[in-house]
């Protein structure tokens, strides 16, 4: 099983690639005023990478995917918008997310 530090490194990598993709999309939109542009440079790789992490951690409910795709977050030194993943359980950092996934797997 991957360690917490490895998990954080992998999530940082995924988010970093996503930020590069967003910057590329913004550049395309700047070159094409009044046009909507989209690009999925890393999406297939990202999906497979997330699938592998989830499998390794036993994340059968797609908690990681939910965190990465369905929530707004800020990525700066592990600072994210806190969100309530279930009643009375708030995730405030990548450490919390890892701990939650591991704890959930053990139950």
Number of domains into which the chain is organized = 1
For residue 72, pLDDT beyond 80: no
Q: pLDDT tens for residues 25-49?
A: 889 889 988 888 888 777 788 888 8
| Per-residue tokens: 42 | 């890393």
Q: pTM for the complete prediction?
A: 0.73
Range of the domain at 67: 4-106
């Amino acid at each position: 099983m991957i360690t917490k530090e490895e998990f954080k490194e992998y999530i940082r990598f995924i988010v970093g690639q996503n930020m590069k993709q967003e910057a590329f999309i913004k550049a395309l939109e700047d070159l094409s005023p009044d046009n909507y542009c989209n690009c999925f440079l890393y999406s297939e790789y990202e999906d497979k990478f997330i699938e592998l992490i989830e499998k390794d951690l036993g994340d059968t409910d797609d908690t990681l995917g939910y965190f990465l795709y369905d929530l707004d977050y800020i990525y700066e030194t592990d600072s994210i918008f806190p969100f309530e993943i279930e009643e009375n359980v708030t995730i405030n950092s990548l450490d919390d997310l890892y701990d939650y996934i591991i704890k959930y797997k053990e139950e």
